[in-house]
């Protein structure tokens, strides 16, 4: 059952949470612990939690003596191969005190575009959740190519939420909420709620931001929120620092209301249709 307001998040049956590279790598690697604490609290309340985590390439960069995100595909793949291993270890180490076990799920765009691998991915994650395992999903950067990939993990998180029929999607960012224009510009106003069907063209989210460790930005989050909410899944965009408050249903971030005429579903055709939008 989808939820219609962020205040219901504390009682959600199933929630997908996405965190970006900049929130958990480099000088922010210590933020993994409070993020995991919030996820473990939700898990203890009975909520099924799926974490979509970026950060493999960013985590692997120091081990390859790289000061900035590599531009060539082969080095990106090498950094991801090293970083994914370290990243999962850090998550599991943080989860251990709560008695929660993580399960790694790596996906490519093709996995969600074709019926058989899509069904396999859904079945595997459903079984993990049934066993009270916390799935940690990331794009399989080691085998992904520039031509065939999700583009950003906000979109991946929206597709996973649709695949699993999640009640809600929480997109964690570096800022507390979305703004009507870049928050550094004069006149920028925080957006508390986006009603279903609201025209987002009036907002100046700007182009996708590509920083030294990852990709993403306000525009990708708004696009992912629209993708998920069109399937009847409410979406909250807020700061990684407020993940505990978010999952407790407090009034933080920007809430995207779900389409009231849609029902979150795990029907075979749902994600396939979404992935072509």
pLDDT at 263: 60
- Residue 183 neighbours by CB distance under 10 Å: 14
Domains in the chain (CATH in brackets) are 6-275 (3.40.1160.10)
pLDDT at 217: 73
Residues of the chain with pLDDT under 70: 1-2, 145-151, 201-202, 204-216, 263-277
Residue 258 tokens, joined: 């779900």
Give the annotated binding-site residues for ATP: 18, 173-174
Give me the torsion for CA of 210, 220, 2, 11, rounded to 10°.
30
Give the annotated binding-site residues: 18, 54, 141, 153, 173-174
Residues constituting the chain: 277
Give the annotated binding-site residues for substrate: 54, 141, 153
Dihedral of CA 111/2/232/170: which sign? negative
pLDDT at 146: 58
Give 210-233 pLDDT, tens digit per residue: 344 444 578 889 889 999 999 999
pTM to 2 decimals? Answer: 0.89
pLDDT at 270: 42
Q: Locate tokens 């995100």: which residue? A: 69
150 Cβ neighbours under 8 A, 6+ residues apart: 109, 139, 156, 159
Cβ-contact 247, 9 below 8 angstroms: yes
Distances (CA, A) of 155 to 52, 54, 220, 225, 257: 10, 12, 7, 8, 17
Q: What angle separates helix 115-130 from helix 153-163, to the nearest 10 degrees?
A: 80
Q: SS3 string of the chain?
A: CCCCCHHHHHHCCEEEEEECHHHHCHHHHHHHHHHHHHHHHHHHCCCEEEEEECCHHHHHHHHHCCCCCCCCHHHHHHHHHHHHHHHHHHHHHHHHHHCCCEEEEEECHHHHHCHHHHHHHHHHHHHHHHCCCEEEEEECCCCCCCCCCCCCHHHHHHHHHHHCCCCEEEEEECCCCCECCCCCCCCCCECCEECCCCCHHHCCCCCCEECCCCEECHHHHHHHHHHHHCCCCEEEEEEHHHHHHHHCCCCCCEEECCCCCCCCCCCHHHHHHHHCC
């Amino acid at each position: 059952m989808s939820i219609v307001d962020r205040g219901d998040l504390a009682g959600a049956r199933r929630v997908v949470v996405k965190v970006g590279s900049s929130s958990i790598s480099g000088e922010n690697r210590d933020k993994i612990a409070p993020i995991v604490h919030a996820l473990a609290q939700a898990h203890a309340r009975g909520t099924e939690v799926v974490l979509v985590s970026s950060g493999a390439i960013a985590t692997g960069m120091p081990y390859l003596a790289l000061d900035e995100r590599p531009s060539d595909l082969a080095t990106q793949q090498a950094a991801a191969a090293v970083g994914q291993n370290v990243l999962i270890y850090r998550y599991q180490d943080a989860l251990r005190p709560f008695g929660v076990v993580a399960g790694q799920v790596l996906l490519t765009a093709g996995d969600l575009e074709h019926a058989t691998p899509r069904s396999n991915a859904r079945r595997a994650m459903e079984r993990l959740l049934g066993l009270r395992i916390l799935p940690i999903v990331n794009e399989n950067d080691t085998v992904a190519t520039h031509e065939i990939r999700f583009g950003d993990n906000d979109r991946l998180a929206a597709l996973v939420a649709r695949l699993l029929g999640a009640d809600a999607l929480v997109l964690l960012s570096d800022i507390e909420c979305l703004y009507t224009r870049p928050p550094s510009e004069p006149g920028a106003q925080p957006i508390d709620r986006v009603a279903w069907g609201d025209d987002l063209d009036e907002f100046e989210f700007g182009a996708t931001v590509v920083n030294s460790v990852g990709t993403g930005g306000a525009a990708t989050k708004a696009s992912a929120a629209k993708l998920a909410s069109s399937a009847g899944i409410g979406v909250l965009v807020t700061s990684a620092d407020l993940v505990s408050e978010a999952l407790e249903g407090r009034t933080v971030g920007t809430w995207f209301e779900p389409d009231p005429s849609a029902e979150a579903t795990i029907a075979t055709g749902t994600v396939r249709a979404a992935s072509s939008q």
